[in-house]
């Protein structure tokens, strides 16, 4: 924490009776796990906040003065001061919502359950044995192909290559965790399972937090398991505009993936009130809606998806594709961070790594390398793939490497109901309203765990506390946008990852349109109060929805998140427009391939996991055929 702030005073965050909770103590493990550059930025932000009431300091004022100052900033502060207050609330909320006393006061409990047998007589898939032997024993290995990354793309490409009889090594920078070892505490979970402890941010106005996974299985371990096929119009554009002819022929691929992952629609009667309220609002307004499809088989209760499925009922890559790859002979190495691709005469021949980085200790790192006889496959995602290529000194002939970032910016819209909702009971991401697909807007009923959702509630001090302790009456949905805005991934001067993203006015207006529709749906379902996540607008009364649309707030007033980075090494048959060709081979380098979300040529508009698996499998099939 910044010097002088120390434990937060009464009024800086909500306080449960009878004991005060010190969120700073809860946050200590989070700060210890963050990169030094991130901690420096946090300290700077807190120091600036401390001096906001200049000439006096927030930390040296009386509790009453602090409460009044926070109230004034929330109600009438400048955009910058409101952003700093939100930043402080996020930190407080993570620490506060992680405290077991607070969870008990709210009634929140993270649990998972599956039916013993579903209506079709299918039992839940038993847990596969752990993927043992993950730590490299020496300082180097050799194989046909080294795959960097174990998420949706990396796991799929490794499976296809290994089952084609090729010798494959898969590298993952994060640890291996499963239902026997996921941390139960929220902060321990995000420091173990997420890159930068979940604080990866696309900088811009507004800045957009974009968390991604960093564990064996990648982001599939911590996503909500929602499975959409790529929309047909998107595939058609890829074929006509980017020369990807096989994009028109993925029907069988999708069906095979859905079978492999046991994809089923959520049962509306078992999904819980959070999804049912969105459904009821959609039915009342007569708009198109349907249950989401998930890769979780007979799952009927999930409130731990963002921290790893407690039962591994969700078919993340570490319990689906990776066991297949290992059974076919692939070798999986966890805690190995790829640092540079090795080139010889313009050909990728391997990768230089640090092993043992999962413990965050510089003394624990040791050199490790993999020699690849036939090629290197990058599957580190839309952030990791361009980061590694740039760090390796590679420059794409098209100049497009790291460009064209799409993230599906999303806004959390909450609503308070008179009835108990208890959104953590049932399926946390369960239902969709697709009426406004033509505008690029998709609404998905998504409930966020207490440690990551409470801070989005408006108010400070007692007002915020009152809303937080009524968390069981809260429903929420995500307004997801198929973005036309774009961003860029690059390297900062110190070699760290730098992500920027510029939201356009048009996309901002479309997000406001989505917020307005979500509000209408909730009021139609009986909501008492709606929280739009717009700076300066604590609640959105039904009577002011039209006013919000008629005079949209400035872009930086939107409080956004994103979960689907893509496009930074896009595929295109024309080497002047893309980073790879339609086989996933990198233009300008032999033996180098990409097989992850960075390949996607444009925004999808839907959750991308199925699309990534399908494209990575195609890339792997073409690689295997070319090397046969």
Number of H helices, E strands in the chain: 17, 21
Q: What distances in angstroms separate CA 26 from CA 22, 30, 32, 91, 378, one per listed residue?
A: 7, 8, 11, 10, 36
CA angle 110, 112, 116 (to 5 degrees): 160
- In 3D space, the residue among 134, 139, 138, 142 whose CA is nearest the CA of residue 171 turns out to be 134
| Contact status, residue 152 vs residue 318, Cβ threshold 8 Å | no
- In 3D space, the residue among 161, 134, 142 whose CA is nearest the CA of residue 595 turns out to be 161
DSSP sequence for 610-626: HHHHHHHHHHHHHHHHH
- In 3D space, the residue among 571, 616, 148, 246 whose CA is nearest the CA of residue 396 turns out to be 571
What is the number of other CB atoms lying within 10 angstroms of the CB of residue 553? 17
| Contact status, residue 271 vs residue 226, Cβ threshold 8 Å | no
- In 3D space, the residue among 428, 370, 385 whose CA is nearest the CA of residue 570 turns out to be 385
Chain CA centroid to CA 531, Å: 22
Backbone phi, psi, residue 31, to 5°: -65, -35
| Contact status, residue 453 vs residue 399, Cβ threshold 8 Å | no
Residue 289 annotated among the catalytic residues of the structure: no
Catalytic residue among 242, 318, 564, 587: 564
- In 3D space, the residue among 59, 61, 110, 64 whose CA is nearest the CA of residue 88 turns out to be 59
- In 3D space, the residue among 432, 449, 450 whose CA is nearest the CA of residue 441 turns out to be 432
Percent composition of the chain: helix, strand, coil (DSSP 3-state, to 5): 40, 20, 40
CA distance 319 to 217: 8
* Residue 45: strand, helix, or coil: helix
* Residue 171: strand, helix, or coil: strand
CA distance 10 to 593: 54
What is the number of other CB atoms lying within 10 angstroms of the CB of residue 361? 9
Query: Catalytic residue positions?
Result: 564
């Amino acid at each position: 924490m910044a010097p002088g702030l120390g434990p937060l005073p009464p009024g800086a965050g909500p306080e449960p009776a009878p004991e005060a909770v010190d969120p700073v103590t809860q946050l200590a493990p989070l700060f210890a796990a963050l990169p030094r550059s991130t901690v420096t930025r946090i300290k700077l932000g807190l120091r600036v906040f401390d001096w906001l009431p200049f000439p006096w300091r927030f930390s040296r004022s009386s509790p009453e003065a602090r409460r009044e100052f926070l109230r004034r900033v929330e109600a009438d502060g400048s955009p910058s001061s409101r952003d700093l207050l939100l930043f402080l609330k996020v930190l407080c909320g993570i620490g506060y919502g992680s405290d077991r006393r607070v969870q008990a006061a709210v009634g929140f409990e993270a649990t998972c359950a599956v039916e013993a047998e579903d209506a079709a007589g299918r039992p839940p898939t038993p847990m596969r044995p752990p993927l043992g032997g993950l730590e490299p024993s020496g300082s180097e290995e050799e194989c046909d192909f080294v795959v960097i990354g174990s998420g949706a793309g990396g796991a799929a490409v490794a499976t296809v290559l290994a089952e084609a009889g090729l010798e494959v090594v898969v590298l993952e920078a994060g640890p291996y965790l499963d239902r026997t070892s996921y941390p139960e505490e929220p902060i321990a979970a995000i420091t173990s399972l997420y890159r930068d402890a979940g604080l990866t941010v696309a900088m811009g106005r507004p800045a957009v937090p974009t968390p991604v996974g960093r564990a064996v299985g990648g982001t599939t371990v911590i996503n909500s398991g929602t499975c959409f096929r790529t929309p047909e119009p998107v595939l058609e554009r890829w074929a006509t505009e980017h020369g990807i002819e096989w994009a028109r022929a993925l029907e069988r691929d999708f069906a095979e993936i859905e079978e492999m992952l046991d994809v089923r629609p959520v049962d509306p009667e078992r999904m819980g009130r959070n999804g049912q309220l969105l459904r009821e609002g959609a039915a009342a307004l007569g708009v198109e809606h349907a249950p989401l499809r998930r890769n979780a088989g007979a799952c009927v209760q999930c409130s731990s998806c963002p921290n790893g499925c407690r039962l591994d009922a969700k078919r993340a890559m570490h319990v689906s594709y990776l066991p297949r790859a290992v059974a076919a002979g692939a070798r999986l190495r966890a805690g190995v961070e790829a640092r540079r691709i090795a080139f010889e005469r313009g050909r990728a021949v391997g990768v230089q790594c640090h092993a043992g980085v999962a413990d965050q200790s510089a003394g624990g790192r040791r050199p490790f390398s993999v020699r690849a006889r036939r090629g290197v496959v990058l599957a580190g995602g839309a952030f990791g793939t361009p980061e590694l290529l740039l760090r390796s000194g590679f420059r794409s002939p098209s100049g497009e490497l790291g460009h064209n970032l799409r993230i599906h910016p999303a806004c959390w819209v909450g609503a308070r109901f008179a009835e108990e909702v208890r959104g953590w009971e049932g399926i946390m991401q369960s239902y969709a309203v697709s009426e406004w697909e033509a505008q690029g807007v998709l609404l998905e009923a998504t409930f966020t765990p207490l440690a990551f959702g409470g801070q989005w509630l408006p108010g400070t001090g007692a007002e915020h506390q009152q809303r937080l302790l009524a968390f069981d009456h809260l429903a929420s949905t995500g307004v997801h946008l198929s973005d036309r805005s774009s961003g860029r991934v690059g390297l900062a001067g110190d070699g760290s990852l730098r992500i920027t993203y510029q939201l356009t006015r048009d996309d901002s207006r479309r997000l406001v349109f989505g917020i307005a529709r979500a509000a209408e749906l909730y009021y139609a379902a009986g909501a008492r109060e709606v929280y739009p996540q717009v700076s300066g607008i604590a609640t959105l009364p039904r009577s002011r929805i039209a006013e919000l649309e008629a005079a949209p707030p400035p872009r930086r007033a939107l409080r956004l998140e994103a979960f689907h980075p893509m496009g930074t090494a896009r595929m295109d048959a024309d080497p002047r427009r893309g980073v790879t060709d339609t086989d996933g081979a990198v233009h300008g380098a032999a033996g180098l391939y990409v097989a992850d979300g960075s390949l996607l040529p444009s925004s999808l508009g839907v959750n991308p996991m199925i699309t990534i698996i399908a494209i990575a499998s195609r890339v792997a099939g073409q690689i295997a055929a070319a090397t046969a």
